[in-house]
Amino acid sequence: MIQMAKIIAALGCVASLFLAGASSDAASPSKQPSPAAGAKTDNKEPIVITSLTLLADNVAKTATFEGNVIARKGEVTLYAERMIVYSRKDTDGAKEKAAATPGDEKGDIDKIDAVGNVRLVKGNRVVTAKYATYFTLPEEHIVFTGEPRAVEGQNVVTGTKMVYYMKDDRSTVENSKVFLVNKERKPSGDEGKKGGAQ
């Protein structure tokens, strides 16, 4: 039987869920080096989700997190009022693999739906939207809808749909509006003298 998640309960109803992504040999977060600034997200890193409540449905292969939901993977953090984690359904091949490799029973995530005050933070970048869906295949990406807005420093991008590709650290935006703030260039010593001499 595939185990979808390991649940740790602490202090009231707070729950944490450790999901292993697509790899069985993912090291624990404490054993992995801290990602450097600008480092690419590793698909082997675990996703850690915390919330006020958790409802796991083993038949449907879902876990529903509600209330102050925070999902972390490497240097990316996703916040929402509610998240539903969908695990891949068992197939005959997956059952045979699980039987052949005992201890490799972690459920692979298919997708995560985030609803309500969605906010993704990575460094000084912040993306907000009403809805977001995290997909693991064909490549790891997050789709933001419902008035998505990305802010980095003073620069702002809005659109009707934003897709963030985590591995490549790139985005696409549909119906985009871009607001860029040009920083004033201070003239170098020679430029300042030329301007003042005329």
Please provide the DSSP assignment of 139-191 as one string: S-EEEEESS-EEEETTEEEE-SEEEEETTTTEEEEES-EEE-PPPPPPPPHHH
Burial class of residue 76, CB neighbours in 10 A (0-12, 13-18, 19+): buried
Sequence spans of domains, the chain: 6-197
pTM as predicted = 0.66
List the end-to-end C-alpha distance of the chain, in Å, as a whole number. 81
Q: Quick check: 43 and 136 in contact, CB under 8 A?
A: yes
Maximum distance among all Cα pairs of the chain, rounded to whole angstroms: 83
What CA–CA distance (Å, rounded) separates 48 from 89?
A: 21
The CA-based dihedral angle spanning residues 57, 111, 68, 42, taken in that order and rounded to the nearest 10 degrees: 130
| Local confidence pLDDT in tens for the 198 residues of the chain | 233 333 323 222 233 333 333 333 333 333 333 333 333 445 578 899 999 999 999 999 999 999 999 999 999 999 999 999 999 876 544 444 444 333 334 458 899 999 999 999 999 999 999 999 999 888 899 999 999 999 999 999 999 999 999 989 999 999 999 998 876 656 665 555 555 544
Angle, vertex CA 124, rays to CA 148 and CA 34, nearest 5: 120
Task: Dig out the tokens for 69 from the structure.
Answer: 């939901």
- CATH architecture observed for domain 6-197: Sandwich (2.60)
